Chains A and B, each alone.
Chain A
Amino acid sequence: MTGFLVRRALQAVFVLIVVTVVVFLLLHALPEGPARAILGPRATPAMLQAFNHANGFDRPLPVQYFRWLVRVLHGDLGFSYKRNDSVTHLLATAVPRTLLLVGLSTVLAVLVAVPVGLLQGARRNSAVDHTLTAVTFTLYSMPAFWLGLLLVDVFAVRLHWLPPEAPSGGIVDILLHPSGLILPVVTLALVTLASFSRYVRASTVEQLEQDYVRTARAKGLPPNQVVRYHVLRNALSPVVSLLGLSLPWILGGSLVVEAVFNFPGTGFLFWNAAQGQDYPVMLGIVLVVAVGTVIGSLLADLGYAALDPRLRDEVGQS
């Protein structure tokens, strides 16, 4: 187990280094580099040159990379000249909101997807299975923004049950007005649970074909108990690893949901930055999000290994 831990953590560290190189190269792949990105389209070549010299952007790339890396490690992610604020400060307010949205909706998605997938797997090709498949397939094939706006139309505009927008204040404000968070959380959960439940269903079907299930049935265990005591645990451990793999995808979904509900999280910030070509903000977010996903999938893999000892070696080598 220790060997696996060390190997998997080293791998994650290596991936993190590659992430910083990729983000650094993105910054310098911009036409005319960071100077143009910061000074804007009207800057003259002389201005660009002066800016590059003042900020050390005329040094060799490896030197710049290490200087940039040192600044990042000190918590300096750059400065948004468009918003006149440091990227670190912008992210410090946006990241907790996104964590709240993503965390709540992922928990909700798992809580719904696991029983639904188990039921579908256990009653394969029944009317229930076909109905739930139709529902999950529709959710999966539907643009997330449309789903969100339909929910707003029904629950906010027609029924007046819930507010149409998410609260836009700080974390405390959001927690004091939780009703505004219901529609965004439900929208994101519906999008993710569609694929989660397909996965749980497939995993259950696969487990039901195993020998240990046949043995359990042969000794006379009722079908419900076979699922509850034998299949559940084995079908669920891959879900932990799925959570890690799905993180980038859930964060992408979060961007759309934040845009629909005007929820000022990381995705919303990124969206605004993309429209305003605010590159320091975009690259800061990309870096933070990528680091978050790498750590998230590391934790998911460790959790998976803790649940399923057989996979320790396999996961460590892949």
Chain B
Amino acid sequence: MSTPTQSPRRARIADATAAFFDNRLATIGLVVLVLVTLFCFVGPLIWHTDQVHTNLFGALQPPGREHPLGTDDLGRDVLGRLMVGGRISLIVGVIAAVVATTVGALYGSLAGYAGGTIDAAMMRVVDAIISIPTLFIILFIASLAPPTVTTLIVAITVTSWLVPARIIRGEALTLRRLDFVRLVKTMGGGSVRAVTRHVLPNTVSTMAVNATFQVADAILLIATLSFLGLGPRPPAANWGGMLSGGLQYEYSGYWWMIYPAGIAIIVTVMSINLVGDGLRDALSPKSAS
């Protein structure tokens, strides 16, 4: 591994960007992700639909000129609902990923930098919580109160800070033995300074890759919660709720109640994972040398 000070930061970012866009799958993933985001956040400004009022006379209409993807069981336009429905997934996913990665990185870098008994004790706590399946913890939290966007973010954060904590702690263990971190103490800097100014900045690429994958996991998790009946409550739309709600019409032939939402989930999760893979390859020290 080359020391980060050897080449100017800007050149390294340019190298990583070039490596990322050399990866065809990652580039496709990024393009799709941008399109999905535009679809969810700019789409409703162009395609005006009423997602609040129900219209039972216009329920379950097949796709046609007026409703390109048909209407749902309450007469709402499916295309418009798909646009609004992606918002919760993306917002919760991104915020939870950022918060969880930050918390995990702080915890992990402190443990790794401290080393010894403090490190061992801190990591056994991580081991203990990580041994409880994520879905069980989140269902437990969801059973306490009906999930809102805020409680969803909290619930997902409670479980997702553990993996970044483990990974970053591993990196901090390596970094604290390197001269530029060891010398902080010699020059009169405290542990906090060593961690925030010297350890954490060198783990940014790991954090970015990890956060990307967590957004994908969060979207699947929200969909699963909706299926289990403990997801965000209607009338707020979300893809998982649309999919699991539509599945009761599986044998009635109303395919537009199932496939648009299901495919939206698959396409989004897949492109996020492709971007994550691409980021990891582009940022790893092996490919840089």
Contact = CB atoms under 8 A, between A and B. Distances in A.
B197 to A, nearest CB: 26
B155 to A, nearest CB: 12
Interface string B216-243: 1000100110011110000000001001
B109 to A, nearest CB: 16
Contacts of B60: none
B128 interface: yes
Interface residues of A, number: 46
Contacts of B273: 137, 140-141
Interface centre among A252, A286, A318 (most CB of B within 10 A): A252
A265 to B, nearest CB: 13
Interface in A240-282: 247-249, 251-252, 255-256, 259, 270-271, 273-275, 277, 282
Interface string A133-147: 000011011111110
Interface stretch (B51-59, B129-137, B179-187): B129-137
A285 B136 contact: yes
Given A15-B127, A19-B128, A143-B262, A289 B136 contact: yes
Interface stretch (A46-54, A107-115, A222-230, A290-298): A290-298
A63 interface: no
A318 B127 CA distance: 11
Interface string B198-231: 0000000000000000001000100110011110
Contact of B136 (A144, A149, A270): A270
Interface range on chain B: under 10, 10 to 19, 20 to 34, or 35 or more?
35 or more
B133 A249 contact: yes
B223 A143 contact: yes
- Taking chain B's interface residues, is the majority helix, strand, or loop, or is none over half, making it mixed? helix
B224 to A, nearest CB: 6
Contact of B143 (A16, A144, A145, A274): A274
B235 to A, nearest CB: 21
B41 interface: no
B140 A22 contact: no
Contacts of B269: 140-141
Interface centre among A18, A297, A318 (most CB of B within 10 A): A18
Contacts of A259: 227-228
A11 interface: yes
Nearest to A21: B128
B128 A290 contact: yes
A144 B243 CA distance: 12
A157 interface: yes
17 contacts: A18-B124, A19-B128, A19-B132, A137-B274, A140-B269, A141-B220, A143-B265, A145-B227, A247-B131, A251-B133, A256-B135, A259-B228, A270-B139, A274-B139, A274-B228, A286-B136, A293-B133
